[in-house]
Amino acid sequence: MTIRVYIPRDSSALSMGAEDVAIAMRRAVSDQDVDIVRNGSRGLYWLEPMVEVETPAGRVAYGPVQAKDVIGLIAQGLLQGKQNHRLSLGLTEDIPYLKRQQRLTFARAGIIDPVSLEAYKAMDGYQGLERALQMGDQAIVDEVKASGLRGRGGAAFPTGIKWQTVLDAEAKQKYIVCNADEGDSGTFADRLQMEADPFGLIEGMTIAGLAVGATQGYIYLREEYPHAHDILNEAIARATAQGYLGDNILQSGNGFHLDVRLGAKAYICGEETALLESLEGKRGMVRPKPPIPALEGLFGQPTVVNNVLSLSTVAIILAKGAGFYKGFGMGRSLGTMPFQLAGNIKYAGLVEVALGVTLKELLFDFGGGSLTGRPLRAVQVGGPLGTYLPESQWEVAMDYEAMTTLGAVLGHGGIVAFDDSVDMAEQARFSMAFCVEESCGKCTPCRIGSTRGVEVIDRIRANQDRENNLQLLEELCETMVDSSLCAMGGMTPFPVQSALKHFAEDFAKDPVKDYAN
Amino acid sequence: MLEYFDPRKDSHPAIDYGTPPSSRDLVPISELITLSIDGHDVQVPEGTSVMRAAVMAGIHIPKLCSTDSLEAFGSCRMCLVHIEGRRGYPASCTTPAEEGMQVRTHNDSLAKLRRNVMEMYISDHPLDCLTCAANGDCELQDMAGVVGLRHVRYGYEGNHHLGIEKDTSNPYFTFDSSKCIVCSRCVRACEETQGTFALTIFGRGFESRVSPGQNQDFVDSECVSCGACVQACPTATLTETSIIDKGQPDHSVITTCAYCGVGCAFKADMQGDQVVRMTPWKQGKANRGHSCVKGRFAFGYVTHSDRITTPMLRESIDQPWRKVSFEEAFEFAAKRIRGIQKQYGRTAVGGITSSRCTNEETYLVQKMVRAAFGNNNVDTCARVCHSPTGFGLKTTFGESAGTQTFDSVEKTDVMMVIGANPTDAHPVFASRLKKRLREGAKLIVVDPRTIDLVRSPHIKADYHLTLRPGTNVAFINAMAHVIVTEGLQADQFIAERCDVEAFEQWKTFISDVRHSPESTEQYTGISAAQMRGAARLFAQEGNGAIYYGLGVTEHSQGSSMVMGIANLAMLTGNIGREGVGVNPLRGQNNVQGSCDMGSFPHELPGYRHISSEAVRRVFEKAWHVTLDPEPGYRITNMLDAAVEGTYKGLYVQGEDIAQSDPNTRHVEEALRNIECLIVQDIFLNETAKFAHVFLPGSSFLEKNGTFTNAERRISPVRQVMAPLCGLVDWQVTLGLSKALGYEMAYNHPSDIMDEIASLTPTFANVSYERLEEEGSLQWPCNDDHPDGTPIMHVEQFTRGKGYFALTEYVPTEEKVTRRFPLLLTTGRILSQYNVGAQTRRTENSSWHAEDVLEIHPHDAEDRGINDGDIVAMVSRAGDTQLRAKVSSKMQPGVVYTTFHHPESGANVITTDNSDWATNCPEYKVTAVQVTKVTGTERVSQWQTQFAEFTKKQIALLNGSEGDEQ
């Protein structure tokens, strides 16, 4: 009987040596009936490359595996699923980090060969589309509205309401645009999804097309994701060949075409209007709103712009129903959120759980505390524009409303942890410096204000005219928040203000840092 | 009656409203929305920005990145306001006004925000206001004052851009990036207004800087020097070099450009009687605030040292010129003219009117010829450009003019551009056309060359039909054939508006298989599939407009082609409303006007035939003379008769036939035979080198009058400086006429216009008072059309029913042979104008210092020609030499050149073939051979003679005998 071995082709696994592991494995089992499947990652990054073997009891895992480990693993019965090697992890599904999650959007991630349509369909794939094809456009939009799904890219705008606007707009051509320009520091969920389960995204976009009457979709992918690019293109080609994309989807008479477009390494192109400019072949600069993209988006036509996770989640909502999805989460934050643990954290990886989990649970129950073993001191949630949360705030429930009450954002679900060796004045400076680099340069507060922000913080740290400069920094932050054109300039001050508020000692005249213990 | 809000009338030209009107259409007053700004109710059309609404209420919200010629951008963040019930501080430029909106434009927190943003700007800006070129004309300076910035707390030690070097590569303006506030107004002007996309913002974040191309110098970039960026710049970053040198103007005069037939309105910015700058006038209805490199910058010729400001005369052309008084010159000329008439007959003399001069001046010249010379030997340069337009449109529609306004293009869905190169020859209109194309209109280009319009930023022609030169009529017939045989014609329009009998006859004619794309493919070289596709697109895409140039008229079948175009427009129902029509792009500033003014030998002003006794009687009564009922000589007849020896006297005002007319050697022979050649011009042009009397002319800046552009728009030309020679052109004609014994009394050009109006029904209500009120007027302007006629043939055609003329394709006799295997076609380039007399005397020559021969790589390869080689070109008319430019914009078998430089001899090559109806020369088709010049002989025989003759004539001008040098 064929033995099936899984070795991920996910970028993170590859960066940890998965390709070498695969080569070594292929060589080692060349005389045996072994099928090596290149799956996506399950998102347990400290275990990558994680090799799995199918056994009658289920898949068992080994990790992190290096090429040099392969001979020994096989010698110790890897192909039979034996669990006596030091890298043995037992049944994959029983790994606590995974077991405690509620994987909906990521239900297939790491389990299947990402470009196998058969494997996708075997795990409920395209059930959402098939159901959607039986419904009218308005019914699909209603279903998404009822699910309570909000934009997972960061802005948390209700997806169904956005779709309704596009559905109601009259135009010869409408577009679905997937924002896959995942640029927030410490985030990787979009990439993981696209590399592990691209059909989920393709299905979601197809459903979106049906819902609003769009026949063309674009995935705007950041150039730094070459593996995702390959996988998406292969998946699109296969979906097209099988009639899931094209002029006549599943003989329904409805058409939907999908293309991938690459960005050019600009953080700002994750902002939806800058993304649209870039997609049109122009310099990625933010457009003022109104008009909103739902009415005048790509090439001036009504356009749905949704994040990878939002669109992928739509497939589950349509397959299982809005009621199923909104059974997760709390209040107005319904469903699950794929959190991404990164930074100084012991168990970095993807944690998809219902909205409402506390930050503390994520940091410690999942993340296992800091990687260095030192006490955690600050956590930045929601990317480089998110606020820094001090320990006193870690009991916060991770939902949109609770975070707002703290002046914080959930964003795209990125969580970056820092231990007590962090210099928060340096981190504040970094926020401004990041804006200096990544601002599109259009509006003045963002373009000039960020540079002045770096300079003022430098002066404060150098004890030059401290009081006046602190006052100036505060006013600068307010000016940027109140007058910037988009969230880039408008949120750059958040980390700065939170650092000033919660970690004032780091800005003190003679900051005392105790690294002794 | 419904009352309307007119966004173009209800706005003040001197005010910047910050954002453009939401639409240029009229809005019923009842549909306006009302909002409250600082407690004042204001009514605006839907879609108006809060900023514009505020300005309409007299409230000027601080702003830097917005200006009403560009779409709102929202980058400077100075115009933030507070709106009741809304979070934060929306930018007033990008926020549309809404019914019931309550806006506060000023409070303490807004004031603080604006001050803080301004503080950022000034932290990266030099503090040299007093010595800055924009001092007194700087919006940054103004806004810093408005927001009350007193202190820059960031200091000036931080990162900045103050050390960036100036880019002075462009001859007309300087780019000083150190003063740039990165508002992108220049970038947007280049995109939205001009459509060239030469500018961008380079870099990100703090390093975002305005950059031509990819960090290039201006002159090395795609920049076409239209000046839109300079116009849009709110600081000193982009400033006219003339302003840097001279300072800000002290007053301005609105006038009309004297270059092409677009007829742009300009503000001549003055210091005393010196023009320091020309800026496009926002209220100008032809250009709507836009300009090109010629009108905007190339005005230096007016005060060039080559200007001749004293009358001169000589007995024969190998004698030195003698400077004389005007009186002596007039007496001399009159005596000679009368002497010739006595010896050779009344019709041995004539005149040529100028399409460069004003309507009033042109009218006077033809009047003098008819009344004082006593014959109808008057013609104009339209003979050699758009005479087939006059004939063709008169025959089919009943009026010798284009049917539309330029604004009309904003409503066009599909445009067909035939034999025109608007981006070079009519650049300001090209920008408007490109804007509409970027909005999604379809484009069919019919041209043997790959002109820029075929593919330019964000524009791609749906069809580029690369027809063989000389096969226009076969092409237009095939278009019509497809539409008729596929049943795509506008039956209702034809039935209601056209002569149905003529249509039926034409329909039978055009349906014949000989006109099918499959049959004509062999002539035109256009594949049948392309042809059918283009015909279907034009017939079915909605409003279809045809724009054409000299590639249509300057052919042996020019008149047939114009009628074919008119047929196509009628066939598809594309006449009589906005967005459609037949649009001849006229070459010269007043070529429409010179035709209107009776410059043709067979027509009195208003296109009325000289043979009509009733018409003659009207003029005879007013002019107190008896008019000759027989049409006079056309230019070609004059030249032929001169060569024969029966035509001996010629008065040429502002026209250079020795350079511009075809078959130069024939023209030169004719001119040498003339015994009294009177040339009136601002320079000693090529024709003047054969003259006996030189009367100094005056430029458009030195006179009052009117020009009529391609849209029949009569626009005022206003004097900004005294004539350098003491008299303006119309006064000179008066002097000459008086010396001939025919005295005309006018005190001002307005008197002349009054006479024109009294004698010409289509001009009946035109007067200087009305022009002053309206800015400009489109004829017909009479009791039937008191405000003029923007769109013609709205209810019915001028001739009653539209007439479908039969247009059989007759191949030109000018065919390629083994001896002359290539076809030469001629045209224009952007920086030079016509014979180049003006533009060659400006910095424009830095872009085009010589005429070159463009040749396809295959033809070049066959002949061993490399880019930059000197080549000899020979036709049956003559030969010349010029530099080759190997270009894949050409199709194989076709070569191309311009005639902006006399020594190039482009017209030595062109032949005396001409249009069957109007004698318009066939400039666009000459069979030639091109060979690489290998020996030391680097110029043709003609060029050698030309150089020697020019040298001698310059010497004679300078008072010596020439030969002695």
Residue A517 forms part of a structural domain: no
- Per DSSP, helices labelled H in A213-256 are 226-241
Q: Are residues B839 and B730 in the same domain?
A: no
B152 touches chain A (CB under 8 A): no
- A292/A371 same-domain check: no
Residue A154 lies in a domain: yes
Q: What is the pLDDT of residue A514?
A: 52
CB spacing of B75 vs A484 below 8 angstroms: no
> Is A357 part of any domain?
yes
Where does residue B685 fall: left (phi above 0), alpha (psi -120 to 50 degrees), or beta otherwise?
beta
Angle A348-A352-A358 from CA coordinates, rounded to 5°: 80
Q: Taking 60 as the threshold, does the pLDDT of residue B965 lie above it?
A: no
Position B964 pLDDT exceeds 50:
no
Confidence of residue A515 (pLDDT cuts 50, 70, 90): very low
Side-chain-facing half-sphere of A451: CA atoms under 13 Å: 24
Consecutive H or E run containing B880:
strand B879-886
**pLDDT at residue number B615:** 95
B201 with A456: Cβ contact below 8 A: no
Burial class of residue A423 (count of CB atoms within 10 Å of its CB; 0-12, 13-18, 19+): middle
Contact B117 A445 (CB under 8 A): yes
Q: What is the pLDDT of residues B410-431, one digit of tens each?
A: 999 999 999 999 999 999 999 9
Would you call B153 and A479 a contact, using CB atoms and an 8 Å cutoff? Answer: no
Tens-place pLDDT, residues B97-138: 999 999 999 999 999 999 999 999 999 999 999 999 999 999
pLDDT digits (tens, 9 = 90+) for B318-350: 999 999 999 999 999 999 999 999 999 999 999
Angle, CA of B120, B124 and B129, to the nearest 5°: 105
Smallest Cβ–Cβ distance between B77 and the set A438, A451, A483 belongs to A483
Q: Give the CATH number, domain containing residue A496.
A: 1.20.1440.230
Instruction: Give me the pLDDT at residue A49, please.
Output: 97
Return contacts of A460-468, CB within 8 angstroms, 24+ apart.
A460/A425, A460/A507, A461/A425, A461/A429, A461/A507, A463/A509, A466/A509, A468/B153
The DSSP result for A283-342, as a single string, is ---PPPSSSPTTTS-GGGS-EEEEEHHHHHHHHHHHHH-HHHHHTSEETTEESEEEEEEE
The count of structural domains within chain A is: 4
Paired tokens of B431: 């920008």
| Encoded tokens for B58 | 């007299």
Residue A516's contacts (CB-CB under 8 Å, 6 or more residues apart) are none
- Whether residue B28 is preceded by a cis peptide bond, meaning omega within 30 degrees of 0, is no
Question: Does residue B549 sit in the same domain as residue B615?
Answer: no
For residue A313, being part of any structural domain is answered with yes
Q: Work out the pLDDT band at B936, boundaries 50, 70, 90.
A: low
**Contact, B872 vs B331, CB < 8 A?**
no
Same structural domain for residues B400 and B419?
yes
Question: Is there a contact between A286 and A443 (Cβ–Cβ < 8 Å)?
Answer: yes
The answer to whether residue B362 is domain-embedded is yes
Helical residues (DSSP H) of B100-203, grouped into ranges: 108-122, 139-147, 185-188
Within a domain: residue A103? no
The CA dihedral of B885, B890, B891, B897, to the nearest 10 degrees, is -80
User: CATH code at A27?
Assistant: 3.40.30.10
Interchain CB contact of B121 with A (< 8 Å): yes
Contacts of A484 in chain B (CB under 8 A): 77
Residue B31 belongs to some domain of the structure: no
Q: Which residues of A touch B62 (CB under 8 A)?
A: none
Backbone angles phi, psi at A77, to 5 degrees: 90, 25
Please check whether residue A513 lies inside any domain of the structure: no
Compare CB distances from B204 to A290, A439, A484 and report the shortest one's residue: A439
Mean pLDDT of the region B291-306 = 95
Of A46, A63, A98, which marks where a domain is finished?
A98
List the end-to-end C-alpha distance of chain B, in Å, as a whole number.
79
Q: Indicate which of B87, B202, B204, B541 best probes the interface with A, i.e. most A CBs within 10 Å of its own CB.
A: B204
Tokens at residue A329, please? 């989460």
B832 and B873 together in one domain: yes
Q: Which of B95, B139, B154, B197 to mutate to test the interface with A (most CBs of A within 10 A)?
A: B154
**Does B366 touch chain A if contact means CB atoms closer than 8 Å?**
no
Tokens of residue A288, six digits: 């003022």
Cβ(A208)–Cβ(A304) below 8 Å: yes
The answer to whether the Cβ–Cβ distance between A437 and B74 falls below 8 Å is no
B809 is a domain residue: no
A211 has pLDDT over 80:
yes
Question: Strand, helix or coil at B620?
Answer: helix
- The whole-number pLDDT of residue B834 equals 86
Any chain A CB within 8 A of the CB of B158?
A: yes
Domain finish residue from B276, B303, B330? B303
Q: Do B74 and A443 touch (CB under 8 A)?
A: yes
pTM value?
A: 0.93
**End position of a domain, from candidates B724, B749, B778:** B778
Extended beta strands in B70-137, E state: 82-83, 102-104
Domain boundary among the residues A32, A63, A98 is at: A98
B757 shares its domain with B845: no
Specify if A260 maps to a domain: yes
Given A295, A327, A359, which residue is the final one in a domain? A327
Mutation target to probe the A interface, by most A beta carbons within 10 A, among B73, B95, B117, B413 is B117
Residue A58 sits at φ, ψ, to 5 deg, of 125, 180
Measure Cα distances from B534 to B361, B416, B475 in Å. 44, 9, 11
DSSP secondary structure string, B456-490? Answer: ETTEE-SEEE-PPTT-HHHHHHHHHHHHHHTT-S-
B609 and B483 in a single domain? The answer is no
Looking at residue A44, the DSSP 8-state letter turns out to be B
User: Looking at the structure, do residues A334 and A323 belong to the same domain, yes or no?
Assistant: no
Establish if B64 belongs to a structural domain.
no
- Reported ipTM: 0.93
**In terms of residue numbers, what domain contains B950?**
822-910+935-957
Contacts of B595 (CB under 8 A, 6+ apart): B380, B382, B386, B387, B390, B400, B607
| Best residue of B76, B94, B153 to probe chain A, by most A CBs closer than 10 Å | B153
Dihedral of the CA atoms A490, A494, A495, A496 (nearest 10)?
A: 90
Q: Tell me the chain A residues in contact with residue B117 when contact means C-beta distances shorter than 8 Å.
A: 444-445, 479, 483
Stretch (H or E) spanning A55: strand A51-55
Q: What is the pLDDT of residues A267-280, one digit of tens each?
A: 999 999 999 999 99
Q: For residues B672 and B755, state if they share a domain.
A: yes
pLDDT in tens, B741-780: 999 999 999 999 999 999 999 999 999 999 999 999 999 9
Residue B962 has pLDDT above 60, yes or no: no
Please report, for the domain that includes residue B879, its CATH number.
2.40.40.20
Q: Which residues contact B347 (CB under 8 A, 6 or more apart)?
A: B375, B377, B632, B633, B647
Residue B353 lies in a domain: yes
Does residue A517 register a pLDDT over 50?
no
CATH number of the domain that B486 lies in? 3.40.228.10
Taking an 8 Å Cβ-Cβ cutoff, which residues of chain A contact chain B?
A: 266, 268, 283, 285, 288-290, 435-452, 455-456, 468, 472, 475-476, 479, 482-485
Give the separation between CA B548 and CA B419, rounded to whole angstroms. 6
Question: DSSP H helical segments within A79-197, as ranges?
Answer: 96-99, 117-122, 127-134, 137-147, 159-168, 189-196
Q: Does B77 touch chain A (CB under 8 A)?
A: yes
Residue B2 in this model has a pLDDT that exceeds 80 = no
Mean residue pLDDT of chain A comes to: 95
Which of A268, A285, A448 should we substitute to test contact with B (largest number of B Cβ atoms within 10 Å)?
A: A448
CB-count exposure of residue B784 (10 Å: 0-12, 13-18, 19+) = exposed
**pLDDT greater than 60 at residue B961:** no
Residues B299 and B362 in one domain: no
For B77, which of A283, A436, A443 is closest by C-beta distance? A443
Q: Is the pLDDT of residue A158 over 50?
A: yes
Q: Is residue A321 domain-shared with residue A371, that is, in the same domain?
A: no
Cis amide leading into A384 (omega within 30): no
pLDDT at A177 over 70: yes
CA A328 to chain centre: 19
Which residue, among B755, B782, B765, has the nearest Cα to B367 in the 3D structure?
A: B755
Determine the structural domain holding residue A362 and report its residue range. Answer: 329-419
Claim to verify: residue A393 and residue A415 sit in the same structural domain: yes
Residues B392 and B351 both lie in one domain:
no
Mean pLDDT on B639-656 = 95
Indicate if B751 and B620 belong to the same structural domain: yes
The verdict on whether omega for the bond into residue A290 sits within 30 degrees of 0, i.e. cis, is yes
Chain-centre distance of CA B308, in angstroms?
A: 26
Beta bridge partners of B870: B883
Do B46 and B31 touch, CB atoms closer than 8 A? Answer: yes
**What's the structural domain count of chain B?**
4
Do B275 and B395 sit in the same domain of this protein? no
Instruction: Answer yes or no: do B732 and B677 share one domain.
Output: yes
Residues A38 and A152 in one domain: no
Does the pLDDT value for residue B1 go beyond 80?
A: no
In a domain, B222, yes or no: yes
Rg (CA), chain B: 29
Judge if A276 and A322 occupy the same domain: yes
| CATH number, domain with residue B757 | 3.40.50.740
Instruction: Report the chain B residue with the minimal C-alpha distance to residue A476.
Output: B116
Say yes or no to pLDDT of A8 above 80: yes
Q: Please name the residue of chain B whose CA is at the shortest distance from the CA of residue A432.
A: B205
Asked whether the beta carbons of residue B205 and residue A472 sit closer than 8 angstroms, the reply is: no
Burial class (CB in 10 A: 0-12, 13-18, 19+), B172: buried
User: How do B82-83 and B102-104 pair as beta strands?
Assistant: antiparallel
